[in-house]
Amino acid sequence: MTMINVTGPKPGDRLVNLDEKVFPDHQASEGDRALIMMHTVPFEGSVGLVNLLTTTRIIRKGFSTTLCLYGPGVLMAAAGRGFPNVGEEGFPGNLSMNKQLDTIMAEGGTIHACRFAMVALYGMRESDIMEGVKPFHPLDVLDVLIDHWHDGALTIATWTV
């Protein structure tokens, strides 16, 4: 058997072609809306953080953006996260979700958290979620979708369990 030796990658090497972009860099037109529905468990895989980063990118493209956290997604907006004290990172990335939610709100996005999931599933009070996140009635989960559909909004909905 012949062994082939290939030099491994080093920090700074680029392993893929990032110079070629296949699709146009679309920007929102005046009045365009976007809705991101997130039903996902924080820190269980990358879905939650990737969706928050996507939400931020959508805002930066000029969309009037609403992020709805429901089901386990409401846990992303927990105000009491940190270790050993609230607001301190117990491990690198411990506050990544909270920081990204702060960025979304600072850049003009609206964030809602479902009251049903907060109380019935996790025993959270409205005071247990981050400042600026707006609680909403569980019946609004459907109505926010209809509201955005009427406007032809870009809608992204993800579920993980």
List domains and CATH numbers for the chain. Answer: 33-82+95-159 (3.40.1260.10)
Specify the DSSP element, H or E, that contains 97: helix 96-106
Give the contacts of 14 (CB within 8 A, at least 6 positions apart): none
Q: For residues 143 and 141, give the distance between their C-alpha atoms in angstroms, rounded to a whole number.
A: 6
Q: pLDDT value at position 29? A: 97
* Distance set, CA 66 to CA 15, 46, 74 (Å): 35, 20, 14
Q: pLDDT value at position 126? A: 96
Q: For residues 41 and 45, give the distance between their C-alpha atoms in angstroms, rounded to a whole number.
A: 8
Give the contacts of 130 (CB within 8 A, at least 6 positions apart): 77, 78, 79, 98, 101, 102
**What tokens appear for 157 in the block?**
């909905």
Q: For residues 93 and 91, give the distance between their C-alpha atoms in angstroms, rounded to a whole number.
A: 6
pTM as predicted: 0.90
pLDDT along the chain (161 residues), means of 10: 90 94 96 96 87 97 98 96 94 94 98 97 96 97 97 93 68
Neighbours of 73 (CB within 10 A): 26
Q: pLDDT value at position 44? A: 83
Q: For residues 78 and 80, give the distance between their C-alpha atoms in angstroms, rounded to a whole number.
A: 6
Q: For residues 71 and 42, give the distance between their C-alpha atoms in angstroms, rounded to a whole number.
A: 11
Neighbours of 140 (CB within 10 A): 18
* String of DSSP letters for 69-87: E-GGGGGGGBTT--SSSTT
